[in-house]
Amino acid sequence: MRLELGPDYPDIRLKLENLQPINAYKLRGAVNAVAMLSESERQRGVWTISAGNAGQGVAYAARQAGVRCTVVAIETAPSSKLERMKALGARLVLVPYSVAWKALEERSFRGVEGTFVHPFDDHNFIAGHATMGLEILEDAPDTAAVIAAIGGGGLITGVGSAIKALKPGVRIWGAEPETAAPLARSLAAGSPQEFPEWQASFVDGAGGHSVFPRMWERMRPLVAGCIVVTLEQTKRAMRLMAERARVISEGAGALPLAAALTGEAGRGPIVVVVSGGNVDMKTFCEIVDSPCQP
């Protein structure tokens, strides 16, 4: 969907993953990952770790497969995400963000049984996201750059792998909030880095404590760079999509638009991945109704 902003702005198109059945792109990877499990693995039940969108995706896929699902969920996730995971049949185990991130690294959580589906460090999860890259080139073959938010890195790895295989000249950019930007730090250092000054914000679907070494190896050959944006720039992007395109985006979904508007990714055509729209409406209304800060 073209975002009409005028001649002073880059040529920007929105990839509206907020319109997926769970209102987020994670459905692609989750459905593929669960489908690729063996029958015995599925029958054990599945579990994952999530701030909300991956949990919804795995819960949706588990419901389709007729198996039980548990989500180790971050306790500060928006209530809308928690309620939708429950509505899809998931059992929730609420934990602090730091505990969830540690469990992602260890790929285990005491007391939770079943087959673990990693929400980003998983070949089949990543392959599911690659379908988005194929769609982008089919609908917008003149694409010069694609920008995707960075959480664990599964989205940009999947999309970037598909696009680079077909059109190597397309530049793939990451976008992170200033409060959680480990990929930008890793690219600057040339190795996977931690981000100890991580801060929670309304951008709950992107920005991690660190870059996993396995994800670093996957991302590094694909990305042209990572654009770090402020929380205020992200709010403006959410407001702009609501005003110009009537699109409801969560914070992580607006990061790529905020990054495109900095000009760092060029004049376009730029496809920005609106990765999700799962935001509490009270929070969304407060953000779009707040005055712009200088």
Q: Span 252-279, mean pLDDT?
A: 96
Give pLDDT, residue 136.
Answer: 98
Q: Which of 119, 125, 148 is nearest to 52 (CA)?
A: 119
With 60 as the cut, is the pLDDT of residue 294 above it? no
Domain regions of the chain by residue span: 2-24+123-289, 26-116
Cα four-point dihedral sign 79, 81, 85, 91: negative
What percent of the chain has pLDDT above 70?
99
Same fold yes or no, 2-24+123-289 and 26-116: yes
End-to-end CA distance of the chain: 29
What percent of the chain has pLDDT above 90?
87
Q: 129-143, 203-217, 254-268: lowest mean pLDDT where?
A: 203-217
Pairwise CA distance, residues 178 & 226, whole Å = 11
Q: What is the pLDDT of residues 273-283, one digit of tens each?
A: 999 998 989 99
Give pLDDT, residue 291.
Answer: 67
H, E, C per residue of the chain? CEECCCCCCCCEEEEEHHHCCCCECHHHHHHHHHHCCCHHHHHCCEEEEECCHHHHHHHHHHHHHCCCEEEEEECCCCHHHHHHHHHCCCEEEEECHHHHHHHHHHCCCCCCCCEECCCCCCHHHHHHHHHHHHHHHHHCCCCCEEEEECCCCHHHHHHHHHHHHHCCCCEEEEEEECCCCHHHHHHHHCCCCECCCCCCCCCCCCCCCECCHHHHHHHCCCEEEEEEECHHHHHHHHHHHHHHHCCCCCHHHHHHHHHHHCCCCCCCCEEEEECECCCCHHHHHHHHHCCCCC
Residues listed for the chain = 294
Pairwise CA distance, residues 198 & 135, whole Å = 34
- Please report, as a single letter, which amino acid is at residue 8: D
Q: Span 145-174, mean pLDDT?
A: 97
Pairwise CA distance, residues 155 & 137, whole Å = 16
Q: By the 8 A CB rule, do 256 and 149 touch?
A: yes
Q: What is the pLDDT of residues 62-118, one digit of tens each?
A: 999 999 999 999 998 888 889 999 999 999 999 998 899 899 989 999 999 999 999
pLDDT level of residue 178 (50, 70, 90 thresholds):
very high
Give pLDDT, residue 114.
Answer: 94
Q: 157-161, 190-194, 199-203: lowest mean pLDDT where?
A: 199-203
With 70 as the cut, is the pLDDT of residue 34 above it? yes
Give pLDDT, residue 78.
Answer: 84
**CATH 3.40.50.1100 at 2-24+123-289, yes or no:** yes
With 70 as the cut, is the pLDDT of residue 293 above it? no
Give Cβ neighbours of residue 188 (< 8 Å, ≥ 6 apart). Answer: none
Q: Which CATH number is 26-116 given?
A: 3.40.50.1100
Q: Which of 258, 252, 288 is nearest to 51 (CA)?
A: 252
With 50 as the cut, is the pLDDT of residue 131 above it? yes
Give pLDDT, residue 292.
Answer: 56
Q: Span 242-246, mean pLDDT?
A: 94
pLDDT level of residue 249 (50, 70, 90 thresholds):
very high
Give Cβ neighbours of residue 277 (< 8 Å, ≥ 6 apart). Answer: 18, 19, 23, 24, 247, 248, 249, 250, 253
Pairwise CA distance, residues 109 & 48, whole Å = 10
pLDDT level of residue 52 (50, 70, 90 thresholds):
confident
pLDDT level of residue 200 (50, 70, 90 thresholds):
confident
Please state, rounded to an integer, the average pLDDT across all residues of the chain: 94
